[in-house]
Structures are given as structure tokens and as C-alpha cells.
Structure 1
Amino acid sequence: MKITRSFHFYAVMVCLLLSQRSIAQNWKFPYQNHTLSFEERVNDLVGRMTLEEKVSQMLNSSPAIPRLEVPAYDWWNETLHGVARTPYPVTVFPQAIGMAATFDTAALFKMADYSALEGRVIFNKAVAEGKTNSRYLGLTYWTPNINIFRDPRWGRGQETYGEDPYLTAMLGDAFVRGLQGSDPKYLKAAACAKHYAVHSGPEPLRHVFNADVSAYDLWDTYLPAFKKLVVDSKVIGVMCAYNAFRKQPCCASDLLMTDILRNQWSFSGYVTSDCWAIDDFFKNHKTHPDAASASADAVFHGTDLDCGTDAYKALVQAVKEEKITEQQIDVSVKRLFLVRFKLGMFDPPSMVKYAQTPDSKLDAAEHGKHALQMARESMVLLKNKNNTLPLSKKLKKIVVLGPNADNPLAQLGNYNGIPSKLITILQGIKDKAGASTKVVYEQAVNFTNNNVLSFTDISGDCSADGKPGIKATYYSNKELNGEPVATVYEKQIDHEWQEGEKVVENLRANHFSARYVTDYKPTGNGSITFELIADDGVRFSINGKTVFDSWTRRQRSIASYTLTTQKDSVYHLVIEFWQGEGKATLKLNTGNFAVTDFNALAKKHSDADAFIFAGGISPQLEGEEMKVSDPGFNGGDRTTIMIPAIQTELMKTLQGTGKPVIFVMMTGSAIATPWEAENVSAIVNAWYGGQSAGTAIADILFGDYNPSGRLPVTFYKSDADLTAFEDYSMKNRTYRYFTGKPLYGFGYGLSYTTFRYDQLQAPAVADEGKGITVSVRVTNAGKKAGDEVVQLYLVNKNTAIATSLKTLKGFQRITLKPGESKVVKFTLLPEDLTYVNAGGQYQALNGKMQLCAGGHQPDEPNPSSGNVVKKEIIIKKKAQ
């Protein structure tokens, strides 16, 4: 038996050695030799390239180099809250700001892990189909967005983890570790910390804006999260921002790029420009005369990849003009190829465990379960007057209203994928309510007005070429030229494509056009209103007469036209549309507009047991450089943080019925709701909750889940609490420096139970430059099990030190049964007990400090979340 085992072992070893030898010898170029280190292979490959070939690899869409057997690759991909803009169904988690509200690093780590697995499946499919040159199919994700959400008017704040540097750093760290994996050799996927640095709007000015902050604010607020991800998390990528910093474009900043990122932090990964940022050097910032000068300066400062444009093609000219050397080009190209090698792109799948990810991981059931759990954890109960919530499942009638009640787009946020299944708020409530409960839906208002379109389905009255429906012809260019990619017949025009998403057959939503033709034959005399919603260029004609034309304007158009109709007449409708970059929307709604009479609506539903109003705002109004100019919004940002007045007006009418009014608020940022905070029965902030938002909201409304989310941003009372949007100083901004009283503070959130804190343990005296251990006992003093987010704050009591008013230093999410207690421990390292001086240097704290532990900030009472315990400590200054 021993002889047999020994022989078997020997045979296996021989086979392995022969196999490895075969692999090692089966290469044309040394860079393909898997026994060499990645660095040796990269050096060999880049050393074989011409200058032109090297430069071609510094664009996000890097072409193949056939003679060297290098496949094409597009670096541009996103996975902000699930893999984005892919043609495959994927798991869509809550928007980043919602995930931040969970205060749950373990959940974020798992979410990133799941997203990376789904991304691997998608990339494997792309490799199998020879489509590695397609955008949104690669393994280099330009996520996470760790900018500080300093001003609630910024439309992209929804992509961040909130306003606090510590919370942002900890959540960003969890995301990077989950996405990149723990394999000692290969990356599961490549994360990218963006937008470096000092970047947070306004969106309409981002290509021309020059930010200038003090050394204190730079190091105290804007850089800590980047430092954490670069130095500790080992993020492989960094994206430099559009704006300038101290009159140098961020992608060519001496301080940010050279001194801090490459020298102080020793970052060895790759840097990509934000898309079209290099063009901004000479087109908008006017700091450089042309593409060659701009590109050379960006590469000199360590920006390795040019996204969105072909400005870097001018690097060939720049080398010839001696603006930069080819050896400097080599540095960037080697960084880029090292990332691709670490992702296993030049090794057989059998050698890369992540390349063997099974297809079953795409949109997997366990991922969907986690998306639901994160949605539940993200919801923040802001108000619950007289325990209005949870609702009974035995109510007779519930009326659900509002622009977000049945709005899938609001749940998906931005930079999102498309799930195989999505549950809206309305559907979630219908699914959850008891069999005896009647659930009625009335939209009642749009986001900013109450002129609501009552929809009419005219599809049965439309035909083209003798076939029912609408003839849709799609082209792979923006000019409706050449042979069409496809001609299909559609029932209606109702499209919302993510950039890069499949439109039809092999056509992706990027630089395409379409023509829609149908003959409409009404069944009676009267009128019909056509509401056209379109991104980018659109034309609409009826019987040859143009009724709307925005063909030459790149902006979102919302237009309506009322047609007087006669029975048996035929109306020839033609809509032509083109899309460039970004999302593509084309919708033709039909019906008639009518102004909602709120009093009549309330009277109509006087028998309701409760009103649930799903309002707030949506990613249709706030986001990245959007063409939106609705009242209160501008270019993706907001001009006011007040909730649109029409929504308050409706809730006032509903409140007048004497029935409970529950406000479910969807938003990516802070909304000021002073009347609602005083008057409505309950408020749940639901963010943009992802594919399972409707189920999660219903779970909370009916008590199947105890709410536990906490605000990662300050909810101010009004615009008067805000300083100028363009001012990047942190004075009077965020909970760390705001001297007023917020409507709801950072870290705030209610529960259906009560938590009690006591036994705060910490040394009375600590030594400067050393860490300390802090512990506190937390007890669930209520009758319902629930999660508590235990928060530890440090309050500076030493007036000789100029620093923030208070600072989050630790947090833990725990679960407690009724009556259960748990001791929560925090370890504060020496670097946790430092502050930034006026010169931007970290120094050890000393003197009198106060430690505060609780379910919220130390000076903001939260009656449903227990109390806060405090202890003063003295940090002894070292003897000089």
C-alpha cells in the first residue's frame, strides 16, 4: 500500500513538473513566461514596444498590438453599488450614501466581494466573446468615490460615503479590500480611489473651477480617506479630478500628485485622469497651450491613463519636441501593464482562481439577499410620533402617493446596473400588507409640481407597415446614416438605457441614433397630449409638421404637445433621436395633464387608515453634470435644500384629515423638511435603496425589521445654514464644524426599541503619543430586538488646540435582543489621538479631552436611541 501511494505521489509530481515546464516553454515572448515575476514580464513587454504602441496603451480604450499578441482592453468600468452599465442583469445594492448609512464595514466588504465576483463573470464572458475592447466589461473599476460630501447641494454627493473623513476612510477601506481580494499574487478586481482631491462641485463649474484650501483643511478633511486607501488599503488605482487645485489642474499638481501621492505616500499603482480632464488643461483651465504640453505635464506628474479623449496621442509629438522623454512614458506604461498582469489577463485561467468564477455568481440569490439586508440597514427612521410605526397589517385601507412610490429609476441611483428583479415602494407595500388591507395608489404630484399626466395607452391604435405598434430603426452613429443595425416593432417608446447597455442586437447605448415611426388612428373625437422626455437630441413631427426640435442641443428635454383628434383620421408620428455619452432616455407618454385638487383627493380617500407619501427627490434630478433645470435644481446640483414646496402642500392637506401621514423620503443628499419634522406622523429616509428598496421599506413600515440606519451627513434646517457652495473652507460645514442646530445631525437615527449606555471605561490619564482602550456597556432596554450603531466621539476641551468641535473616532454595529447587554470595545491608536496644525502636520493631542459613547452625537438628544455617556481624560504632554 505504501508503495502504491509513493508511486502515485511520484507520478503526480512528475506530471505537475512536466505541465509547468510545458507552460513555461509555450511562449513566443519572454513576457509570456509565467515563471518570471510580473515586473520582469512587464519590462520585457514594454521594452519591445514602439513609442506609438506605448502611447496607444495610455488611453482608456487601449487597442490590441497583434505583433506582440497583446489583446485590446478598455479600462473604463464602474461598480459604485454593484457592477454598472453592463448588458447583463446584476445585483444592485443601495446607492453609496445609503450604504454609508449602514455604518457597517462588514456589509460593505461583502458587497464589494460580491460585486467583484459578478464582474469576473462578466469579464470572462467578454474574453470568451472577444470583447475585451468594450467599455464596462473590464476589471478596472473607477470606484470608490471618497470625496467628502461637504455641501448637500452637490448632486454627486450620493456617490460618496458622507461628510466625515473617518467614516469615509473606514468604509472605503472595506470596499477596496472586498473588491481587490486577498490573493497574494492576483487581484480579484482593481479598485480606484476618486476624485483626487478637493473635489465636490459645483457640477456646472467642475471643468473650470480652481479650489484652494488651507493646509489645515487639506490634511484634516480632504486627504485622510485618500491616505487610508493608498497607504493601508493598497488601492491599485487613483483618479485625479477635473478641477484645478491652487491654479494647477489636479492631474498635474505638484503638491497632490508628486509630493503627496507619489513621494510621501509612495503610491506605486496607476493614476487615471477623470474623463476629458486632460482636455480641460488647454480648453478650460487655459494652463497649457495645447494637447502635447498638457499630456506631457500630466504624465510628468504621474497621470498614467487618459480617459475619454485622445489627448495623450499627442505624447508622440511631445517626445519628438523633447517636452518629455520616452523613458518617462515607459514608467506610466509599465504601471498600466503591471495592473493587467496582476489581474491575470496574461495568464491561463487555470492559474488565476478568480478567472474560474462560475457563471452562477452573476446576479446570485445570496447577493440579492445581501442587497435586501443592506437596504434594510440603510433606512433611517427620522421621526416616529406616538409610535405611529410600525403599522398594523390589519388596516382596512392604505393610500400610497407621490412621485417615488412607483419609480424604479429613483431606487437605482446613478452609476448603476440593471437588476433582474426590482421591487418598488408601492409593490413592497402591496406584498407586505395583510390580505384584508386595500392598497390604493395615487401619484398626485410630480417632484416640483402637481400638473400630473393621466396616462392613456394608445398602443392598440398604432401601426406601421401594416403591423401593430411602432417601427423602430436603430443606427450605430448619431446621424441616422447608413445601414441600420436593426429594425424592430415596439409596443411603446419607453426607454431608459445606461451608457453601454444593450439597445438592440449588437448596438450599445453610446453614440447611436434611432427613428420611430407609427400611424396613430384615434377611436373618437377629442384630444391627446404627447409628453416627450429625451436626453440629447430629439425631433418630433406629426403629419410632417415639426412640433418639437432639440436636435442640436445636448440636454434633457421634456416637452408636451396636445393634438386635437378626429375619429378615423390617421396621424403619422415620427420621432428621431440621438445619444452621445451618458445615460440615454427616450419616452413618449400619452394622456392628458390635469392639476391635482388636493382637497378633492383627501375627500376621495377620507376612509383611509393611513397615507404613505413617497417623495423627496431622485437621480433624475441630481447627479453628474446633468442637463436639468427644474425649479431648485441646476446642472445636476441643487440650488436649494428645501423639499419642493408642492410636496409639503400635499402633505399639509393629508395631515388635515387627521389620519397618520408617513413620509418616505428618497434622496441622495440632505433635504430640509422643517414643516414635516414638526407635523407629520413619521419620516423614513430611504435614500436610493437599490433593487430591494421596496421590500426593505415595507419591512420597516410594518415592523418586520427594526430600523437601524444612521445619517452619514448633517440634515440642516434651511439654506440659511449653508455657506457659499464654491467656498471649500470647512468653516461652519458638517457636524465637525457646524455651530448651529441641525434638523437631524450626523449619526442620528431612531429605533423601535431603546438602548441604554453605561459603564464607560477609559484611562483618566493617558500619555501623549500613545493609544488607549475605551469600552462601554450597551443594553437593549426595550421589548424588540434590534441593531444599534455604537458611536465614539472625541471632543477637544483644550482651547490651546484649534481643531474640530468633535470627531468620530470609532463605530460598531451590534445586535441585541430585549434585555441583552454587550460590552463594546474601541482601541484608539496613537494616530487616532492626533490633530492637524495650521501647517498641515499631524501632532499628538494633549490636555483635557472628552470621550463620548452613544447611539448619536454627544450634544444631540435622541429619545428613542438611549443616551450618551461621557468621560473626561487628560493626555499628558511629553516632557521636552
Structure 2
Amino acid sequence: MTLAEKVSQLQNDAAAIPRLGVPAYEWWNEGLHGHARDGYATVFPQAIGLAASWDAPLLQAVGTAVSTEARASFNAIGAGHVHERYQGLTIWSPNINIDRDPRWGRGQETYGEDPFLTGSLAVAFVHGIQGDDAQHPRAIATPKHFVAHSGPETGRDSFNAVVSPHDLEDTYLPAFRAAVTAGGAGSVMCSYNALDGVPMCANAALLDTRLRKEWGFKGYVVSDCDAVGDISAFHHYRPDDGQAAAAALRAGTDLDCGHTYASLAAMVGKGELPESALDAALVRLFSARYRLGELGGGDRYARIGADDIDSDAHRKLALQAAQESLVLLKNAHDTLPLRAGLRLAVVGPDADTLETLEANYHGTARRPVTALQGLRARFGNDHVNYAQGAPVAIGVPVPVPESALRTTSGVAGLTGEYYAGADFHGTPRITRTDRVIDFDWDRAAPAASLDAGHYAVRWSGELLPPGPGDYVLALHVDRCFDCDAHDAVRLFVDGKPVLADEGDDKHLQAKLHFADGEPHALRMELLHRSRDGGVRLQWLAPPTAQLAEADRAMHAADAVVAFVGLSPDVEGEALQVEVPGFAGGDRTSLDLPAPQRALLERAAASGKPLVVVLMSGGAVALDWAKLHAEAILAAWYPGQAGGTAIAQTLAGDANPSGRLPVTFYRTAQDLPPFTSYTMQGRTYRYFQGTPLYAFGHGLSYTHFAYAKPTLSADALRAGGTLQVSAELRNAGLRTGDEVVQVYLDAPPSPLVPRHALVGFQRVHLKPGESRRVNFILSARDVSSVDAAGVRAVEPGRYRVFIGGGQPGEAAGVASTFTINGKEVLAP
């Protein structure tokens, strides 16, 4: 290759080299909880929900499904042909940063706060993505973001994480080490932040010495998008793009997501960088492309095709994952499962929204089931009354509910007329009733007879305000961030235009006053002509009117099920949101937003049993609900089958078995400052206070008993392994899964965690059934880290606990053993 050709291959949108037969290749693809951003795909629970399953084999199965669907998309185009973004075989997942602080909006993308749980699930997911043939992977996984990257979102391009040697080795590195050494990950992504003053994508001590030399990593390193440019633009670590690019390449960053590496040719020309540095990176990158078969010459995965996308097996797996992710936090008086025949009032802003199923970094769900739909299907339409009741947060619009929309024939929803072109010429190809206008059509057509790239939709009917007052109507269009053109959208009320945009804005709002609850004619138009990915008709309704509507629904019910929490509109990556409790995608408070708290208080005042279902990407301080609700179920963002799984669990068809992968704190004031990366005072390992709900907590409709703990030895020489086991019995009346957790208490020391998870296993038992559960603890499992960051097995007396949660939080059994001698472990 010429120098220019070499440089072109070191950027994510690698150019074709026709004279060498090298096709163009786009390295950027996503697969956090399903093949993402490339049309219809199976949408599994968000990563934090998958982590709540505590089920490593499940994570491997999900990873297999993700890469199978990515391979199917790739095969539809064929090896050696141009693959656009999100159509390749290099998947930038999983996110295995430690969710050290619940205020971080991207904590939802992680596997929680514990390095052992995160590392174990990462290994399983990577194995699933890549398959069992290292020389011919189904796809390549990319654990990210290396390393110590967990907020805040505002200022992330210049943030400098100050981390002690102890915390780096003890908390931030172990999951990445496991993903590389045990998982065999073929790629790693370096993060935006600096670590102790050195931008991570230019950090040779970690990218070269630790990752490659000490861990034996043979794959390639890709930057987070524009992180190489950040080295000069925001970190000011180097004076210009050329110096920044050279620093990143020398440190071990092979691939630039961005175009800062375009300046490498000039650096070589000036003699400031040897061309051999480019060659070393290119060997790693082309090795990956050859192993994938992306350049042709292999048919190992040729049979994977369109039928494998959102297949019956994958849909079944999505339901299983959603079921296993649900965490029963409280169940006073055995309120759950709900008895047959109950009339239910379903309230809350998260009961009937697509975005709280799909979360972020998602594919397009073909047949998503919201919680409201799931409850109607399970309990019967005539047994479910629905009222939205509140927005997610003050000033944050939510989809206009079906109760406020009516066709001219009196059916809930609006009449949708779908045209084949990006205009309204001719007759509609399809006419149907759309219950709500809350659609994800990212690279997907609204119907099989339409082209995903060009269509127009006109919705018409009536808007039914629940009462008089001031309303905000809003249009939300999922804009593609790098498109030359965008979709046009328009809204008319009573024949008058109130909102219109030709593609310049993502959030459009208009204030209207309605003097009464009489219907108003409504028309909405969408002209789809770009890669924009969907549309929502939203509103902010007067609180008094919404609460009154909720009162009416609850008055006719025997029990209330309230779907409250957060949404991807307020927590996520670099969001443009500044409202009470939220800033830039992060949270400034852990409290349930005030409008939803008011809704719960109104529900409790009804005198009906109250079941709270929390839908969120992280911990919410449900202190009021813990005192006043009869039951609380954490559902996270549960994926395409979330509504079905929730309904089955509330009905008792499925037994809840998830466990918390994060600590639920009572208040953010219990934590160190968000910008502090010290682990003292954070997570169950170092938090000294009393949590609202503990890491590892989760209830069941049955109960389990532990007995007869045994250890393979009472005394262990440093460096040896220890076998531990206990007898587990389902002592209840229902079949269920227990998540057996093993915690180690090391000899007291200022830097040793309170408890450390060292093993876990999900076990399925029928009533009365028993099983002995076995674990092997390695030298690394029983090791600890000193202030200098040195990991060693230390002498002393240890305690091992086996149970359904942390020691002191759940039933279990314990034994003690002694370690003699000391052994320092490799990094």
C-alpha cells in the first residue's frame, strides 16, 4: 500500500483500494443488547437488566443471537461488498465499565457495580459474540470503554479521572482483564477520559504494557468516536491533530473512530513518526478482517440468513431474558402474584411507551409488547383500566396516550394513511388504526409493502384532553446525527398548523390552552426521506387533569399497578436535557421525579393495594414506595418482550428470580462527589451506610434453605485453589430459580472490601427439590490489592458465605479457612 492508502485503512470508514482488491469496510457496529441500528432485530433487555439475571449462560446465548443477526445482515450484502455503518462484523460491545455511581446516565449500559459479576458476564457475552472458533469468529466483540470511564457525561471529552493504584487494580481493571484473558476478546475500545492526566487513547502504560504485554492481548484497539481528536482539542495533551494522532498510534490505538488519523501521513512525511508504526496497526486490523471472512474466502457462516433475524428462537430467548431480569424488591402480605379476576388500574408514564422497552443502543423491535399491552393480554381488556397519570419528569414530554386519541369512528388511536413515496400523491398503500404515535423505524419500514427509505404518513382523528388547562404538544423525531437531510413533520389542531419542521429540529413544542375536555380535530404528517429513525407525538398535560383521570381509573379497580421510573429521554449518553433532577444525561438526584411521586401518593390514597413497577436504567430511591406500596418490582428497560414478562410475573405464571447488580441508595448525599473516582464509600464493597436495597437482593414467590457447607481444606497454602459447596433446597411451594451468591470476607485491612463476590450460580428447583452447589475459588478470587496496586494472596483467617444475597442480607451458610504464606499475582 501507499502511505495514503495505509492511512485510509486506519479510520473507521476504511476506504476501498480497488487496485489491491480491498473493499471498503465500516468498522462501526453496535450490539449492546441486540444487533443495533440496522433495522429490525431482536431487542433484549438493556445490559443492566441482563446483568440482573445473574445468568452467565444466558448472556452467552444473547451474545450468540446478537452476532448471528449481525452476520445475517452482513451476509445479505455479501463478503467483499461495501457494508455501511452498523452492517459489519466488528461489534463495539459490551460496555463493561463499573457503574460506580447511580447518577451516571450510561450505567444502564453496564453489568453493574461489581468487578467479578461484570467480568463473568463479559466473558460469557464475548464468547457468545465471537463463537467457539478463534480463527474464524462469527463476529468480533469490543469491550469498552478502557478504562475508568463512568461519567459525568457533561465534559466527558476532557474529563480526567484521578484513580488510586489500589482502585485501578481492585475495581476498574478486573473486568477488562477477564474479557481479554478468559474471554479472548478480539478488540478493545479506549475511552474519552484521561487517567491521571494521560488521555486513555494515548496511554501506553495501559494500552501497550498492561493490555498487550502483561495480559497477552493480540487484537486491535479502537478509539471511542473522536477520542483521538480530543487528545488535542479538549485534553490539550498535544498541540494539534498530527501530534495527537501520533501519540495515540504510538501508545497502541490501531483504529481511529473519526478522522484525526488522516494527519498521520504528514507526520510520517515530516519524519516525526515511522511508517512502521502504521504497519503494526494495519497487520492487526487486516488480521481481524481475514479471520472474519470479511475479505472473502470463507463460508463457515454462509447459511446464516434473514430467517435468523428476530427468529422464533431469539424471540423466546428475549422473553426468557426479560423474565430473568425482573427483581422483586418487596412483596408485603404476599400481594403478588395478583389473584385471578382482579380489576386493575394501570397508571404511570412508563406503562405504555416503546422507548422504555428498547432503551439505548438498540435495534428496531418488530413486535414490541408494552406493559399495558402485556397486562391486557394476560388479565383481559375488561379487567384493565389505564391512565397515564404523570410525565416522567417536570418539563419532559411523554407520548400522548391512547386514552387521549380517537379516530372519527370512535376507536382509540388515530387513523394512519401510509403512502409509498415521501409525499402524499396518489392513494395510501396502507390504512390502519395506530393506537399511539410512538414508533421506532430506524432503517426499517412501517410495513412490508413500504420502502424503508421513502414513505409518508398522515394521521388523523381527534385529541381528547382529560380536562381543561394548558397543554404542550410536542413532536420528537429520532434524527440521524450525520445525515445530509432529515424528515419533515407537521402537526395541525382544529385545522390550524401548530408545529412544522423540515428537518432542522429534533424536539418541537407548542403551547395550547383547552377550555374544556371537548375533542379537537388533529392531523399529523411525516415525510420520510432520510435515515431519521422514528417519530413520537408527545405532550405535557395539566397535572390536575391527569391525576383526576388516574383517580377515575383507580376508583373502578381492585388494585393499582403503577409503572414509574425514568426513561432514555432523561438518562443516557450526552443528552441535551436540563430539568429538575437531570443534567446532560446524568442525574442530579436519585429521587423518583416529583410528578411520579405525586401519582404514587394519589394511588395510595385510593385505598387499593399498590404494586409499583420500576422501569429505569439504574437505581432510584424508592423510599416512599418501600414504606407505602405493597409490592415493588424492578423491571429495568426489559426489551421487546418486556410487557409479556412483567404480566406473567405479576400473574404468577413466572416466578421472579432476578437480583440487583447495583446498590439502591437512599439519597445521593450518601455518596462521595460524582466526579470523584475513589471507591471508598461506593458500592456494596465499600459503602458503610444502610442501603435502601442491597446489591444482590431479590425476592421470590418461593423460598430457599441452605445447609451443610463444606470446604476442600481448612488451611490453604497461598496460591492454591479452594472448593466450596453447600446444600440448597427449595423449601417453598412453587418452582423457582435461586441465585446462589458466594462472598469472601478477608482479614481486616483499611483497603479490603467489606465483602467481595467471588462466585454465583443460578439454580432451578422444584418444590422440595435439593441440590448441592459447588464453586472453585482461584488464587485471584481470594486475593486482595494493596495501596501500591499490587495484587497478592495474603495470609490470615477468611470467611466464605454461600447464600441468596450478601452476608447479613439473606439466608445462607458460612465457613472459615486459613491461608498460610503470601503470593504476589501477576497484574
| Mapping 1:150-299, distance limit 5 Å | 150-299=100-249
On the 8 A contact 1:459/1:469 being kept in 2, the answer is: no
Q: Which moved more, 1:832-841 or 1:591-600?
A: 591-600
Q: Does 1:408 align with 2:351?
A: no
Counterpart residue number, 2:55: 104
Counterpart residue number, 2:285: 336
Scaled by the length of structure 1, the TM-score of the pair is 0.83
Counterpart residue number, 1:429: 375
On the 8 A contact 1:534/1:558 being kept in 2, the answer is: no
Q: Does 1:868 align with 2:812?
A: yes
Counterpart residue number, 1:306: 256
The change in CA–CA distance for 1:118 and 1:263 in structure 2 (over 3 A counts) is same
* CA distances 1:439-487 after superposition (whole Å, capped 9, x unpaired): 11111111125998577658879xxxxx996999869xxxxxxxx9xx9
Deviation at 1:598, TM superposition (A): 3.5
Counterpart residue number, 1:650: 599
Equivalent-residue separation in structure 1 for 2:601 and 2:689 (angstroms):
27
**Out of 42, 51, 57, which is 2:9 matched to?**
57
Equivalent-residue separation in structure 2 for 1:516 and 1:838 (angstroms):
62
Counterpart residue number, 2:781: 832
On the 8 A contact 1:533/1:559 being kept in 2, the answer is: no
Amino acid paired to 1:411: L
Q: Which moved more, 1:804-813 or 1:356-365?
A: 356-365
Equivalent-residue separation in structure 1 for 2:21 and 2:615 (angstroms):
50
Amino acid paired to 2:573: E
Equivalent-residue separation in structure 1 for 2:82 and 2:166 (angstroms):
44
| Mapping 1:296-445, distance limit 5 Å | 296-307=246-257, 309-348=258-297, 351-395=298-342, 397-433=343-379, 438-445=383-390
Amino acid paired to 1:188: R
Equivalent-residue separation in structure 2 for 1:192 and 1:780 (angstroms):
39
Q: Does 1:684 align with 2:633?
A: yes
On the 8 A contact 2:582/2:588 being kept in 1, the answer is: yes
What SS is found at the alignment partner of 1:207? coil
Counterpart residue number, 2:412: none
Counterpart residue number, 2:482: none
The change in CA–CA distance for 1:824 and 1:642 in structure 2 (over 3 A counts) is same
Deviation at 1:872, TM superposition (A): 2.2
On the 8 A contact 1:217/1:730 being kept in 2, the answer is: yes
The change in CA–CA distance for 1:390 and 1:563 in structure 2 (over 3 A counts) is closer
Deviation at 1:330, TM superposition (A): 0.8
The change in CA–CA distance for 1:303 and 1:556 in structure 2 (over 3 A counts) is farther
Equivalent-residue separation in structure 2 for 1:265 and 1:91 (angstroms):
34
Deviation at 1:542, TM superposition (A): 7.9
Q: Which moved more, 1:358-367 or 1:293-302?
A: 358-367
What SS is found at the alignment partner of 1:709? coil
Equivalent-residue separation in structure 1 for 2:791 and 2:275 (angstroms):
39
Equivalent-residue separation in structure 2 for 1:227 and 1:95 (angstroms):
23
On the 8 A contact 1:257/1:301 being kept in 2, the answer is: yes
Deviation at 1:185, TM superposition (A): 2.7
The change in CA–CA distance for 1:340 and 1:764 in structure 2 (over 3 A counts) is same
What SS is found at the alignment partner of 1:313? helix
The change in CA–CA distance for 1:547 and 1:737 in structure 2 (over 3 A counts) is same
The change in CA–CA distance for 1:521 and 1:719 in structure 2 (over 3 A counts) is closer
The change in CA–CA distance for 1:591 and 1:747 in structure 2 (over 3 A counts) is closer
Equivalent-residue separation in structure 1 for 2:718 and 2:775 (angstroms):
18
Q: Does 1:72 align with 2:24?
A: yes
Equivalent-residue separation in structure 2 for 1:490 and 1:95 (angstroms):
33
Deviation at 1:615, TM superposition (A): 1.1
The change in CA–CA distance for 1:141 and 1:519 in structure 2 (over 3 A counts) is closer
Equivalent-residue separation in structure 2 for 1:756 and 1:784 (angstroms):
14
Equivalent-residue separation in structure 1 for 2:121 and 2:530 (angstroms):
35
Percent identity between matched residues is 40
RMSD (Å) for aligned C-alpha atoms: 3.6
Q: Does 1:532 align with 2:475?
A: yes
On the 8 A contact 2:390/2:543 being kept in 1, the answer is: no
| Mapping 1:307-706, distance limit 5 Å | 307=257, 309-348=258-297, 351-395=298-342, 397-433=343-379, 438-449=383-394, 494=437, 496-497=439-440, 530-534=473-477, 556-561=507-512, 584=533, 586-588=535-537, 595-596=544-545, 598=547, 601-602=550-551, 605-706=554-655
Deviation at 1:519, TM superposition (A): 11
On the 8 A contact 2:474/2:508 being kept in 1, the answer is: no
Equivalent-residue separation in structure 1 for 2:795 and 2:507 (angstroms):
55
Counterpart residue number, 1:722: 671
Deviation at 1:293, TM superposition (A): 1.3
The change in CA–CA distance for 1:657 and 1:489 in structure 2 (over 3 A counts) is closer
Deviation at 1:604, TM superposition (A): 5.6
On the 8 A contact 1:532/1:560 being kept in 2, the answer is: no
Residues matched between the structures, number = 794
What SS is found at the alignment partner of 2:169? helix
Equivalent-residue separation in structure 1 for 2:751 and 2:472 (angstroms):
62
Counterpart residue number, 2:798: 849
The change in CA–CA distance for 1:557 and 1:278 in structure 2 (over 3 A counts) is farther
Deviation at 1:507, TM superposition (A): 7.0
Equivalent-residue separation in structure 1 for 2:329 and 2:788 (angstroms):
39
Equivalent-residue separation in structure 1 for 2:507 and 2:534 (angstroms):
8
On the 8 A contact 2:43/2:639 being kept in 1, the answer is: yes
Equivalent-residue separation in structure 1 for 2:552 and 2:445 (angstroms):
46
Scaled by the length of structure 2, the TM-score of the pair is 0.88
* CA distances 1:401-440 after superposition (whole Å, capped 9, x unpaired): 11111112101111111122111111111111168x6211
Equivalent-residue separation in structure 1 for 2:458 and 2:709 (angstroms):
71
Deviation at 1:99, TM superposition (A): 0.6
* CA distances 1:130-153 after superposition (whole Å, capped 9, x unpaired): 863311111100001000000001
The change in CA–CA distance for 1:247 and 1:801 in structure 2 (over 3 A counts) is closer
Amino acid paired to 1:429: L
The change in CA–CA distance for 1:735 and 1:800 in structure 2 (over 3 A counts) is closer
Q: Which moved more, 1:553-562 or 1:816-825?
A: 553-562
The change in CA–CA distance for 1:779 and 1:495 in structure 2 (over 3 A counts) is closer
Deviation at 1:857, TM superposition (A): 0.2
Counterpart residue number, 2:702: 753
On the 8 A contact 2:417/2:457 being kept in 1, the answer is: no
On the 8 A contact 2:167/2:679 being kept in 1, the answer is: yes
Structure 2, unmatched stretches of 5+, are 410-414, 480-485
Amino acid paired to 1:121: A
Amino acid paired to 1:533: H
* CA distances 1:232-256 after superposition (whole Å, capped 9, x unpaired): 2110000000111121211001322
* CA distances 1:832-855 after superposition (whole Å, capped 9, x unpaired): 121111111111122111111100
Equivalent-residue separation in structure 2 for 1:376 and 1:696 (angstroms):
5
What SS is found at the alignment partner of 2:75? helix
Counterpart residue number, 1:37: none
Counterpart residue number, 1:12: none
**Out of 786, 789, 796, which is 2:739 matched to?**
789
The change in CA–CA distance for 1:590 and 1:245 in structure 2 (over 3 A counts) is closer
Amino acid paired to 2:787: A
Counterpart residue number, 2:682: 733
* CA distances 1:175-199 after superposition (whole Å, capped 9, x unpaired): 1111101125311110001000000
- Structure with the greater alpha carbon radius of gyration: 1
Deviation at 1:745, TM superposition (A): 0.4
Equivalent-residue separation in structure 1 for 2:502 and 2:205 (angstroms):
44
Deviation at 1:322, TM superposition (A): 1.7
On the 8 A contact 1:132/1:138 being kept in 2, the answer is: no
The change in CA–CA distance for 1:454 and 1:246 in structure 2 (over 3 A counts) is closer
On the 8 A contact 1:532/1:559 being kept in 2, the answer is: no
Q: Which moved more, 1:399-408 or 1:807-816?
A: 399-408
